[in-house]
Structure 1
Amino acid sequence: CEKEPSSYMWIYILLGNMLRGIGETPITPLGISYLDDYAKEEDVPVYVACLHTIAMFGPMFGFLLGSLCAKLYVDIGFVDLGSITITPQDSRWVGAWWLGFLIAGITSFLAAIPFFFLPKSLKKPEEVNNGKASFALLENKGTTRKMLPPAKPKQRKYFYTSLKKVLSNRMYFTFLCCSLLQFSSFIGFLTYKPKYMEQQYGQSTSKSNFLIGLTSLPPVSIGIFLGGLIMKKYKLNIIGATKFAFTMSFLAYVIALLHFFVGCENHVVAGMTVSYE
């Protein structure tokens, strides 16, 4: 029989995630540009690595928070928990999934308040960086550098022209494709691995989220931070950074092949893995 949904709360969740994505989008492009304009060239890789490292702590704490919320009953605060006869190990158990959204929303709001006190511009480093297009040397040697005012195109065609030039850059386009593939695999890994651990290893939802947050994301954060330190120490240029990224990605791909040799036998399910007979 078919049962029509009686609640449209998923629409609010959809709109909430959409607004959250809109709010999070400016942090990476504007934050990196902010660091690139007002930091020394050799320090930028470390600062960018710190930015991405801190960003990785969010999913890690999210999984740990999800593990905690999964142990709590979905109607906590509204029903007598003493009357609940099932446990988190029961397949009928539904955790307090909504509690994570509430805690994360309040935390994000509080974390956004300090951004209002950031200055529009900072004191620029004294060292001259000829590689940055946003700075130019003045004719007098005793004067400091000043940022060139950004061009303000009045017509929309300038945007499409700039977009065409960016996408025509082979190195940037290759990096864009590589990032797309990496993030696609990473998101799939975080999405399906908890369920895989539940089905293959008989773990509860709470423990699966706890293990993912504790074992998978911290190494990624450490790797990002170490990559920034290596780039600063050896002062890698674009070609050197590209070779370094290719080598590390290739080694990660080779090590990831070991996942094919890890696992358990599929559970016997009538009608799926075995016949009804």
Structure 2
Amino acid sequence: MESNDYKQSEPNSGMLIPSGRRWKSVQMFSFIMCAVIGVQGAYLGYVIGVLTNVERRFEISSFLSGLLLSMYDIGHMLSVLLVGYFFADCHKPRITAIGVLLSSFATFLMTVPNFLYGPINWKTVETLTTLKNHSSVVATCENDENYQWKFAIGNSSSIELATATTQQQQAHAGPYAILALSQILSGISTAPFNTVAYIYIDDNVNNRESPFYLGLLTGMYAFGPAFGFFLSAWCTDVFVDLTVPENMDPSSSSWIGAWWLGFLILALLYLIFGIPLFFFPKHLSERTKKRPIASDVELDELAFSSSHNKFSTAIQPQSLANSCKFVAGGNVRALPTALMKLFSNPVYVGTTCSWIFSAYLIGGYGTYLPKFIETQFKQTASMANVYSGFISIGSMAISTTFGGYLLSRFNVKPRRATLLLLITWSITLVGYLLGIVLGCEQQNLAGKLDNSSKWNFTNECNRHCNCPPNEPFNPVCDGKWTYFSPCHAGCHFQTSNMTWLNCGCTVASDADVFDGLCKDDCQALPTYIAVMFVSFFIGNLFLMTTVTLVLRSVENPLRSLALSLGSFLTTLLGFSPSPILYGMVVDSSCIVWDSIPSSGEPGNCLLYDNRQFRNKLHISSGGFQLAALLAIVFTYYKENDFVFPQEDAGEKEALTSSQSCDRAMTS
């Protein structure tokens, strides 16, 4: 029995969606899904953009923040297989709508730590400010052996300082658990976006139009994160509690931006675009019936046949759902044979390995690029997000679009496209290597850095000062050297304008010493941005070649499984571990940690070794780029003796057609 969904006009289901076919068309569904995927991409970019502020607010290390990012990939990796398996024949718009609303809830859940635990405990902050920043409290140089045990002024004591700090750090496990749960739910809820939603569009347009519609959706994954970076730049310029604090601005090391505000905006956008999806029918009345693809080949040895090979573009998510549907409805015993056939395909294996290594660059370098720019070039978090979005997302969005046009315009064959990819990825490798030398040198730190980049800030000039061993990081600068604290600079007095006097460790004893790190005149940022943008732009020009290689190197019935398996392995072995691994690399460059008194464990990093951070970040990234390049070299080498099934089938079809014409002409 036909469902009412087939009616050309339906009663108005409410004020949200007017009745009529024009409101329930594939064009309108595609428009809404473009918006939804744009919000999803913005969410991913926004999380990266506010990561430093989240670390600072809850005092978590880069390793833990990297683990937090991986939660999204883990959730998505697990759910995408289940969605494709169980919901392939369900009401696709409603399944998608449920996913969008769940995404709205998960995104809103990211703001809960701010409201549940407060943007920041101002009572604690006032106590800490009083204890740490006032001249009568901040430890100064005193020739008294018992001074470090008398770190007390009036009714305030070192015990009160420790208590206040502990109050600020308490229950940080709670906020982190909420953020981790939100990330997992976000990954789970987005599974329908690029599976059943893609199939719904593909089922309701003809084969020629399908690449255009699905290409629009895929393109939003490049432009969405750019919006997320700019949104994070705006939000982090606003203080965490939406007030304007005195004696503090976004350039202050203790500044915490309104990291939670953007999540509210994105949750609202999810809600707005998700509700209309409930009103689309299971099948659109004007849907076009697909013609079967003539080149489909039955694989009798695999004991299954495919009737869903509708691909003419590089869309991984749809193939994932189709492969799940094959496992659910076909001969499951044929799956091991199919997998063996894929893993014995050298072109497929080499290309998939290149995906995995490239995922480390996106999930690792791309994640910590804002932190690198902020700490290396002394930029605010908001400007670091803008520059990062321009370098990574901007270059990718432009170059992939332009490169796809070039490949289509000149009909580049797989082997030639692979050679072009080798050249462009080699240029990207050079860009990473240049990044090693494009940076700013470390501030002159008074003291010594040992082999493990630990700062030994005790000198002969401050040895008699008896500076408290647990004194918080309160850097001061004499115009040339940065000192850990006024006490370690040998300072005795402070004026009302935050200037320290009578500092015994300065070159001139009457020199003024100011709060904060020393500034420098490093001008390397524009060069770094230009070099990395150009290298990424060139490197991403022929990125779609890798997907084309997979599509053309396997038989038609295996294309869906090949793409979905490659996507699964890339997430499992690349995207999931990359933020954690890079977080460990970043943490290893830390000089000063903000320790948590209640546990003694390190919190967030307060000061990085510029050279170590720069070298480790770009050497690691260059290593993964080289590994991806070698995987493509292997693929190109194997292509010389490899017969592409798709090209071979096309050549045979053309030869058969030519022979038929010859026979017709001679008869």
Q: Under a length normalisation based on structure 1, what TM-score does the superposition of the two structures give?
A: 0.74
Report how far residue 155 of structure 1 moved: 7.6
Q: Give 1:94's match in structure 2, choosing from 240, 245, 256.
A: 256
Task: Give the structure 1 partner of residue 288 of structure 2.
Answer: 123
- The list of structure 1 runs, each at least 4 consecutive aligned residues, that deviate by more than 6 angstroms after superposition, is none
Q: Deviations over 1:210-266 (max 9, x none)?
A: 122234312211222233333443455xxx246425523531332441343342243
Which SS does the other structure have where 1:88 is aligned?
coil
Mapped partners of 2:262, 2:343: distance in 1: 39
SS in structure 2 of the partner of residue 27 of structure 1:
coil
Structure 2 counterpart of 1:123, one-letter code: T
Distance 1:266 1:11 in 2: 37
Distance 1:181 1:88, change over 3 A: same
C-alpha deviations, 1:22-77, integer Å up to 9, x for none?
1223433445555666656566555444332211112111110110111111122x
CA distance in 1, matches of 2:377, 2:349: 40
Alignment: residue pair count? 257
Pick from 431, 438, 442: which aligns with 1:267? 442
Equivalent position amino acid for 2:177 in 1: I
Q: Bigger shift: 216-225 or 12-21?
A: 216-225
Q: Is the 8 A contact 1:49 1:224 kept in 2?
A: no
Amino acid at match of 2:249: T
CA-atom RMSD in angstroms: 3.5
Where do 5+ consecutive residues of structure 1 fail to align?
Answer: 137-148
Give the corresponding residue for 2:420.
Answer: 247
C-alpha distance after superposition, 1:129-162 (max 9, x if no partner): 32455269xxxxxxxxxxxx96854886555555
Higher relative contact order (CA closer than 8 Å, sequence separation 6+): 1
CA contact (8 A) 2:230 2:385 kept: yes
Counterpart in the other structure of 2:406: 230
* Residue identity opposite 2:294 in structure 1: N
What is the match of residue 11 of structure 1? 177
Cα distance change, pair 161–222 in 1 and its aligned pair in 2 (3 A): same
Please state how far the C-alpha of 1:111 moved relative to its aligned partner.
2.9
One-letter amino acid matched to 1:266: E
> Could you tell me how far apart the structure 2 residues matched to 1:245 and 1:111 are?
39
Q: Say which SS state the counterpart of residue 362 (structure 2) adopts.
A: helix
Q: Distance in 2 between matches of 1:9 and 1:190?
A: 25
Q: Percent identity?
A: 24
TM-score normalised according to structure 2 size = 0.34
1:121-200 mapped onto 2 (5 Å cutoff): 122-124=287-289, 129-131=293-295, 133-134=306-307, 152-153=328-329, 157=333, 159-160=335-336, 162-200=338-376
- When residues 150 and 202 of structure 1 are mapped into structure 2, their CA distance, relative to the original with a 3 A threshold, is closer
Q: What is the rounded CA distance, in whole Å, between the counterparts of 2:405 and 2:425 in structure 1? A: 19
**Which residue of 175, 178, 194 corresponds with 1:28?**
194
22-31 or 89-98: bigger deviation:
22-31
Question: Are 1:62 and 2:224 an aligned pair?
Answer: no
Question: Are residues 1:85 and 2:247 paired?
Answer: yes
CA 1:273–1:243 in 2, change beyond 3 Å: closer, same or farther?
A: farther
Letter in structure 2 aligned against 1:260: L
Contact 1:45 1:229 in 2 (8 A): no
Q: Which runs of 5+ in 2 are unaligned?
A: 1-161, 297-305, 310-324, 460-667
Alpha-carbon distance between aligned partners in 1 of 2:415 and 2:202, rounded to the nearest angstrom: 19
Q: 1:55 to 1:181 in 2, by over 3 A?
A: same
2:183 maps to amino acid: N
